[in-house]
Amino acid sequence: MTPEATLVVGKIMWVPAAVLLLALMQAPDYSAEGLKALDGGNYAAAVEQLSKAVAADPKDYTAHFNLALANSLLGKDAEAIAGYRTVLELKPGLYQAELNLGIVLVRAKQAREAIPLLEAAVEEKPKELQPNLQLAEAQLAAGDLAKAERYYRAAADLDPSLKDALLKVAVAYERDGQAPQAIEIYTLFPDNIGVQERVGELLIEAGKPAEAAPHLEFAVEKSPTAANRVALATVYLRTNQAEKAAELLRQAVEAEPRNFELHMRYGRVVRDQKKYPAAGAEFLRATELQPESIAAWNELAGMLVLTDDFPRALAALDRIRQLGGGKPGHYYMRAIMLDKMKQLKPALDSYRKFLASSDGNYPDEEFKARQRARILEKEIGRK
């Protein structure tokens, strides 16, 4: 056998010691390769390498942690959760594992399970931003709004740019029927137009229009819209400032001339101020915008009656009847106008229709209608 020959004894191959040492020196470092892939953003490759690392050493909590991290970055929350739990079994109380597991649990809609972990992280590092912020998110998701507010405030103290996150709690308070708590948070944003507008609306709903006024006045001054003008007009109406309310609604109508609801609202306000021609003009515009609106035609008919424009008022009542909105009161209104126009037979017919349909619901008008019907019957009979 030459020196260069390989020695084979049975089926066992002998390898020179130098070759074996070289092979051991070149054994792959899966953890190192996995970290390299993580740093490079190749999370799938990181999972592949780190899976080999934990298989090679199941007690290596660092490899388990990095594998869980890679899975979480891939959006594989179930695998990440299992991995972080393993880390905490191997290394109980590890801050970063508690924090990361809490974050993934919240993302996986398991907020209640996340809370103890994040509370432990906050207890360990109370002045760190992330545990406070993530615990706030978890408490919000779990519906504990008071605690969510507490930790969002703590996070905002650490990073003032996160103050707006408190608005999420305010919205949740509103949904939960806790308007006072929502308002308390909203007052922290005095320069936020939308927030101040919302405070005003909540105070109106709470029956506190006087308190709502400054908030809505600020919103209208800074960014007037139909919505905040209407809200402020509502405040003025409830605090006996009808002229101010009418002016705001006039501006709103001017800004949005095709807004049916604005014309109706403005028309009713000036109607209540007994400005009947102006109100009639608004209701007429409303019928042009929505020709099928019985409410608009009703309002228009009423204004036309009050301004003695009987022909157009009768036409409006005809339109209401065509739309299927006829009521006993319409017969009575028609009868009065026809009576005044000396159209005795049509007037008598309308009085009779009113009496036949009123069913005792309008006692005063029914009494007047009976008296007038008798008189008309006599007058017609003499002709």
- Tally the domains of the chain: 3
State which H helix or E strand residue 13 sits in: strand 12-13
Confidence of residue 3 (pLDDT cuts 50, 70, 90): very low
When pLDDT is averaged across residues 350-375 and rounded to a whole number, the result is 93
DSSP string, 232-287: HHHHHHHTT-HHHHHHHHHHHHHH-TT-HHHHHHHHHHHHHTT-HHHHHHHHHHHH
Residue ending a domain, among 155, 170, 189, is 189
Instruction: Please indicate, yes or no, if residue 40 is contained in any of the structural domains.
Output: yes
Of 118 and 3, more confident: 118
DSSP 35-80: HHHHHTT-HHHHHHHHHHHHHH-TT-HHHHHHHHHHHHHTT-HHHH
* Rounded Cα distance, 264 and 282, in Å: 7
Residue 383 has pLDDT above 90, yes or no: no
Provide the CB-side half-sphere exposure for 381 (13 A, CA): 6
Q: Kindly tell me if the per-residue pLDDT of 12 is higher than 80.
A: no
Residue 62 included in any domain: yes
CB-based burial, 60-80: b 16+ in 10 Å, e otherwise: bbbbbbbbbbbbbeeebbebb
Whether residue 148 has pLDDT greater than 50: yes
- 360 found inside a domain: yes
- Tens digits of per-residue pLDDT, 63-73? 999 999 999 99
274 occurs within a structural domain? no
What are the distances in angstroms from CA 297 to CA 109, 283, 304? Answer: 53, 7, 10
Last residue of a domain, one of 89, 104, 138: 89
What confidence score (pLDDT) does residue 17 get?
46
Q: Is the pLDDT at 277 greater than 90, yes or no?
A: yes
Round to the nearest angstrom and report the end-to-end CA distance of the chain: 152
What CATH number did the domain enclosing 60 receive?
1.25.40.10
173 lies in which domain range? Answer: 130-189
**Mean pLDDT, residues 20-45:** 76
In whole angstroms, give the CA distance from residue 383 to residue 374: 15
Q: Is residue 227 part of a domain?
A: no
In the predicted model, is pLDDT for residue 26 greater than 60?
A: no
Give the pLDDT confidence score for residue 28 in this predicted structure: 72
148 domain-assigned: yes
Look at residues 61, 89, 117 and tell me which one is the last residue of a structural domain.
89
pLDDT in the model for residue 6 = 28
Task: Read off the pLDDT of each residue in 248-270 and give the average, rounded to a whole number.
Answer: 97
Q: Confidence class of residue 153 from pLDDT cuts 50, 70 and 90?
A: very high
Please report whether residue 266 resides in a domain.
Answer: no
Confirm whether 210 is domain-assigned. no
pLDDT at 15 over 50: no
The confidence score (pLDDT) of residue 381 equals 83
205-245 pLDDT, tens digit per residue, is: 999 999 999 999 999 999 999 999 999 999 999 999 999 99
In this prediction the pTM is: 0.75
